[in-house]
Amino acid sequence: MPSAEFNAAAEKIKTLPSPPSNDKLLELYGLFKQATVGDNTTAAPGMFDLKGKAKHNAWTEKKGLSQEQAEKEYIALVAQLTA
């Protein structure tokens, strides 16, 4: 179960005046999914779903990272982006 600090970071990232780069957004997505769900066991999206494939890959890259560590890295990244 996500910590209060993690939930606060997830809400804080929504209030940025301008969105982060696509690379940072994918990093946030991968860490968020790893922290909340764990390792990605879903089927890869189709060849023409470029956005879905990028998100799937970002999450899959976090495979093996503990949910607790993913949560810490997500909180740190949000702090960096909002500083």
Judge residue 69's burial from the number of C-beta atoms within 10 Å of its C-beta, 0-12 exposed, 13-18 middle, 19 or more buried: middle
Q: Which fold has domain 4-82?
A: Acyl-CoA Binding Protein (1.20.80)
Position 28, amino acid: L
Predicted confidence (pLDDT) at residue 81 exceeds the cutoff of 80: yes
* Average pLDDT of the residues in 59-81: 97
pLDDT digit string (tens) for 20-69? 999 999 999 999 999 999 999 999 999 999 999 999 999 999 999 999 99
The answer to whether residues 27 and 77 touch, using CB atoms and an 8 Å cutoff, is yes
Name the pTM for this structure. 0.92
